[in-house]
Amino acid sequence: MSSFTGAFIDNTWSGGDGLESISVINPCTGEECGKVSACGAAQADAALAAAQAAAPGWGKLSIDARAALLEGWKAQLLAHKDEIVALLVAETGKVAGNAGYDFSMLVDCIGFHVQEVRRAYGTVFPSPDDSALSYTRATPVGVTVMVLTWNFPLLNLGYKLGPALATGCTAVVKPSELTPLATSRCLELLAAVDVDGGGGGGFPAGVVNVVNGTGLALVEPLCASKVPRLLACIGSSEMGRRMVGYSAATTVKRFALELGGDAPVLVFADADLDAAVADIVGLKFANGGQICVSPNRVFVHASIYEAFLAKAVDKAAAYAFGSGDDHAPKEEVLQPVATEESLRRLLALVEDATAKGARVLHGGGRVDRAGFFMEPTVLADATDAMACQAAEIFGPILACRSFGSDDEVFAAANDSEWGLSGYVYTRSLSTALRAEQELMCGNVCVNGAHYSIELPHGGLKQSGYGKDISHLALRDYYDIRRITIKR
């Protein structure tokens, strides 16, 4: 069982005296798998002060110097991969392949954003009378605060910390109290970096700091402080609004927020039905349905609706349950949801839907075993009146409904306060182009879910703003200054 005491400040865990502990629960067993300290305002202030003190030196390092230190951290992460992945499996209930992907995204983000900084070119502006030379210079914003959620702990860390460190920003990281172990271990390894092998090339103290604890105890002091220039979050829309509200009374800050999703899926009559079902069901049940871009409202043309449902049920019935290496590599495995509270909320969504006319075609209940497992569930005839369509499901419930006309389905798809991802399945170029133009989502995927580190990821409306990954992520972490030199 792993335990992290106090806060990680200036490359050391300290200040744990008198702090209560938070138990970390393994969703596969319902049993404790680790502990962290419940930090509060004092630890938040100390971490911010350390990040502020480190910011000038870190920001002035050349990209080559920062890259060498970040490569040293990557080497430490890779050397401890098995240990870190085991922590991920324990605290999240992930299957082994999913946990390995989560780990690899952190490692990949470190190197990717360093290379993007090398390609971050400025702009020279013409002078009509040739009287001056004007150009832009990118400067790191300084101290950043990162509030991260639990579904992909290390991917989420990489999405925010990768561009922050590459651009020269310092950070205070607040992991989810549900899944703090792997994140804490990864960041603890910064203290082990030794670039030159003689102890003189270590990672600078204070560049990255960690405060574990609850959102209620930490988010307000972190966001209300005058120290951070940028507040970053991967989490719910509610958390994003809280962060904006807490910060407003003290200073004008910048935000990089990837918030909730309500992804519409539009399956048209001419779609490749087998491919669409495989893609939609696979994405829906991956990570226990706990993915911000997971299908939430599945609209299927009336002419293929029952065929779609039958194929979806067949796919859902093939899932086994577990985590880690419990199953054969080719077996589809559904991992547990995060908490007992999450499971009860999902079961209530099914109960609400059936009371309002939905058909449960498969699943709908709790799995009779230890942990927080829910059966892969297929609902037919969902409507806007059902709670599972009015908000993000974030669990293994595939809620389907039929449609008749293109105008109807595009209007329904956009009838949401969220706008993170949307999916379209069609063989028609004109339909695909209409979707590209009309779907109000930050990510629009046609004939297959596609996400990659090179592609910008972010939402519209209440799903936040700013972009993670791709070269566009750097914009959030840079101040762009215009320089003019008179001739």
Residues taking part in catalysis: 258, 292
CB 169 within 8 A of CB 55: yes
335 burial level (CB within 10 Å; 0-12, 13-18, 19+): buried
Please give the helix or strand (H or E) that residue 360 lies within, else none: strand 359-362
CB 370 within 8 A of CB 28: yes
Taking CA 129 as the corner, what is the angle to CA 128 and CA 132, rounded to the nearest 5 degrees?
90
Cα separation, 97 vs 330, in Å, equals: 11
Q: What is the token pair recorded at 402?
A: 């039929």
Distances (CA, A) of 185 to 86, 251, 260, 314, 450: 11, 32, 27, 40, 30
CB 320 within 8 A of CB 327: yes
Dihedral sign, Cα of residue 249, residue 252, residue 256, residue 257: positive
Cα separation, 62 vs 58, in Å, equals: 9
Cα separation, 448 vs 359, in Å, equals: 27
Pairing of strands 421-425, 230-234: unpaired
DSSP 62-129: -HHHHHHHHHHHHHHHHHTHHHHHHHHHHHH--BHHHHHHHHHHHHHHHHHHHHHHHT----EE--TT
Nearest C-alpha neighbor of 229 from the set 175, 190, 172: 172
Q: What is the token pair recorded at 308?
A: 């779609």
**Strand stretches in 213-273, DSSP E:** 230-234, 254-258, 263-267
Long-range contacts of 156-160 (CB under 8 A, 24+ apart): 156/234, 157/106, 157/183, 157/186, 157/187, 158/105, 158/106, 158/107, 158/108, 158/109, 158/110, 159/105, 159/109, 159/234, 159/258, 159/457, 159/468, 159/469, 159/473, 160/232, 160/234, 160/256, 160/468
